[in-house]
Amino acid sequence: MGRDSVPFLPRQHDEDIVIHQDSFDEAELKKIIRALNLKVTSQRMAILKTLHEGRRHVTAQELYEKLSKDHPEIGFATVYRFLRTLTEGHFVTEVRMGGLPARYELTPKGHHDHLTCVKCGKICEFENRAIESLQEKVANQFGYRLTHHILELYGVCPECQAKGL
């Protein structure tokens, strides 16, 4: 893989993600919809519940596929539009890794970064105070006031290394 190339990341499976899941109850999910000045509908609730109950870092297509099993009346366009609205309202975080499809997660209550295996697609979420401090120092060095950031690290996980991948 060249220095400037985007790694190919395989499709993830639920068990491939190490997460610290925030919990949102039904009342909090309804508050999210109302905060966007939208009517609480069964379709919007189903999308949010599926996003919340499923794994993180899901593509719009993966969310749609999971949702359509129990809610075949909800189309892909509806899922995608609502994800865009949630992203614009900062209730969902969109992560774009190179030229790959965007991945979405409910915006966590606490900040975290990602370490992704380029062989199996496993994502490990982590927090590191030293990295956070260094990012602030870099922003200050260039006169920026840091508003937010997304840190994505890529490598080969211990399981894939053990398999010789």
Sequence-distant contacts of 142-149: CB under 8 A, at least 24 apart? none
Q: Is residue 2 part of a domain?
A: no
Tell me: do 32 and 12 sit in the same domain. Answer: no
Domain assignment of residue 98, given as a range: 23-107
Place of tokens 């794994």: 55
Q: Is residue 1 part of a domain?
A: no
Domain boundary among 61, 80, 107: 107
Domain boundary among 107, 136, 152: 107
Torsion angles phi and psi, residue 29, rounded to 5:
-65, -40
The percentage of the chain sitting over the pLDDT mark of 90, rounded to a whole number, equals: 39
Run of H or E including 95:
strand 92-95
pLDDT of residue 98: 58
> Can you give the CATH number for the domain in which 123 is found?
3.30.1490.190
CA distances from 37 to 30, 34, 69 (A): 11, 5, 28
Tell me: do 71 and 142 sit in the same domain. Answer: no
Q: Is residue 92 part of a domain?
A: yes
Domain boundary among 91, 107, 123: 107
Into how many domains does the chain fold?
2
Tell me: do 144 and 73 sit in the same domain. Answer: no
Tell me: do 103 and 139 sit in the same domain. Answer: no
pLDDT of residue 68: 93
Query: Tell me: the pLDDT tens digits for 65-94?
Result: 999 999 999 999 999 999 999 999 989 888
> Can you give the CATH number for the domain in which 38 is found?
1.10.10.10
pTM above 0.75, yes or no: no
Tell me: do 40 and 100 sit in the same domain. Answer: yes
The percentage of the chain sitting over the pLDDT mark of 70, rounded to a whole number, equals: 80
Tell me: do 88 and 124 sit in the same domain. Answer: no
Q: Among 20, 22, 45, 46, which residue's Cα sits nearest to residue 34?
A: 45
Distance CA 51, CA 63 (A): 7
Tell me: do 71 and 135 sit in the same domain. Answer: no
Please state which of the ranges 13-17, 110-114, 131-135 shows the lowest mean pLDDT.
13-17
Query: Tell me: the pLDDT tens digits for 5-37?
Result: 444 444 444 444 444 455 778 898 999 999 999
